[in-house]
Amino acid sequence: MVTTVSDADGHRYGMTASSFTSVATDPPLISVCLASAGTTYRMIRRSGVFAVSVLGHDHTSISRRFATADSPYSDRFAEGRWDTAWTGAPVLADAPAWLDCVVTACHQAGDHTILLGSVQDAATPRPVAPLVYHARTYYEGLLR
């Protein structure tokens, strides 16, 4: 789950991402690839911050809520318990892990943009198996 907050109005934005990648350990950097025309990408560019919440095996409904393109952004955060990270980006309070980032670079890649984020803070709130999504199917109990 990739989330951000708008500087101007304080609204939260987010989407389900299929993956993120560790880029470097010193300094700690990660990357996410987002559709360049998407609202979440535009809001991340505006705020300069984003967070990644790793979803647990029991977060299928939250993943679906954030993956639905026609879901109003105000309704996406109605499910789950959300905290605010150091940058102001929302993080899922009961996620297996989350990373709070400042955007350090953006690279165009076709109709997507690769965002590099410098990790400012991280936590592992709950030791639980992750949610696995493969071949358009959720595997909720696969790794338990």
Instruction: Please report the pLDDT score of residue 7 as a whole number.
Output: 67
Q: How far apart, in whole angstroms, are the C-alpha atoms of residue 15 and residue 65?
A: 9
Cβ contacts of residue 68 below 8 Å, gap of 6+?
none
Residue 102 confidence (pLDDT): 98
Per-residue pLDDT at 110: 95
Confidence at residue 57, expressed as pLDDT on a 0 to 100 scale: 92
Amino acid at 64: R
* pTM (predicted TM-score): 0.91
| Per-residue pLDDT, 6 | 81
Query: For residue 117, what pLDDT is reported?
Result: 98
pLDDT of residue 135: 82
Picking from 69, 91, 92, 90, the residue whose alpha carbon sits closest to that of residue 80 is 92
The tokens for 10 are 């304080």
Q: What is the pLDDT of residue 74?
A: 60
CB 56 within 8 A of CB 131: yes
In this predicted structure, what is the pLDDT of residue 114? 96
CA 10 – CA 103 distance, rounded (Å): 18
pLDDT of residue 31: 98
Ranges of residues in the chain whose predicted pLDDT is under 70? 7, 70-74, 140-144
Whether the bond into 27 is cis, omega within 30 of 0: yes
**Contact between residue 91 and residue 103 where contact means Cβ atoms under 8 Å apart:** no
Q: What is the pLDDT of residue 72?
A: 61
